[in-house]
Structure 1
Amino acid sequence: MLHAIWVRHHLRPGAFWQLPRGEQLFLLASMELELAAEARLTQAAQGTKQGRR
């Protein structure tokens, strides 16, 4: 998860660990929501492609 936060939002792990625990939890939860939304979009796009055949 930290890798995704670093790659997508340019927050280095060292900076993440210096944040208060509440902010760490917020960022982790936000990243989970972002990844879940992306997965839903990917699944929807794949379903659309399959429906075209």
Structure 2
Amino acid sequence: MMLEAQIQPADIQDRDGALPVLKEVRRLFPFIERIFADGGYQGTATAAAVRELGVW
């Protein structure tokens, strides 16, 4: 089930564009415990940023 969607410019990488989406999802649905993503979102910087948004 899709909970949030945003249209972003083509020059934004998937891993960078995910953070604003996750912030909004966290605000709207604070009870979510688990998220899934494909390989386009991997990387230590992305993982650290997602951890800052809360416990997933």
**Structure 1 length normalisation: TM-score?**
0.28
Structure whose residues are more often helix by fraction:
1
Higher relative contact order (CA 8 A, sep 6+): 2
